[in-house]
Structure 1
């Protein structure tokens, strides 16, 4: 960990904003749990109410705001492993995923990466998770599957003008040994001046709005 990241300072206003969001979510979920605790026959209703609360009250956006309040105080300088301190610390997190994800491993070609910002990257053993915000300020979780390698040339918060795909690339040939029978794509994210800010080598990606 970088020396300057061993201690971060939040302003009182920032801390109160984060606490406000956490309190709203925590107490609301507690009230729902308490209300349905004595209604064992209403499990399906409890699940529906909880899901509606998460969706209608935009819980993911509230938590994303808390994450932003905390994370923007960290120095996101990239180390020799192409990760910053936050990405490295989150590397072993096991995120929820559907029981079967094979059908989501390929790119459907329907998502546009133009004019957005890469907010965060989290590398796992065989996946790369990207939090991406488009020009309409909608936030998406992009999961690159069967990750082979990635090379980041700019820090988190990089603006992306476009993304194009390459079936073969110098980057992939230099860094990994690829089975010629494996369907592998290099995803190159470009800035407004045409420079590559991120290159990801994977079998495909899936998109989820958060």
Structure 2
């Protein structure tokens, strides 16, 4: 009996998303600067010309990945800013940041490991600074409303909150037992209420 399936030629093709995913994995494993185009083609099993069919350069892979991470955080911030009270805005951005990290963990991991060694990295770090500054303003507004202790430095409080959120990249696993929605509630509870039991 003759097969009606067309014969396969060479390696199966890759989509642009595959190229970006492989690049992010390698950047996180061995560092962006230490990753060569040959490393990328070797991981994907394609030629350089096939790789360049999808992206212009290694730097473009980095830029796309960082934009996914920062774009997610900026969208979460924009959503938080639509809330009426400072308390609701701060609550929304904390929960939103956890959702972005759990949904885009590899991209956020890459963002958190930037060294600022290239124009792409410097631009991403500047976007991150603007995000951090706006969240610090939300903390100050929440202090004025009484949600956050007024004796705390708002910038330090912001760093501590996001230090906890950012630490999730080290242990959270999408296929693990921790539910991301519940995780967001728990981070929020610890950040705003602490670990002491309520009276």
TM-score, with length taken from structure 1? 0.25
Tell me: higher relative CO, structure 1 or 2? Use CA pairs within 8 A at least 6 residues apart.
Answer: 2
- Which structure features the higher share of strand residues? 1
TM-score, with length taken from structure 2? 0.26
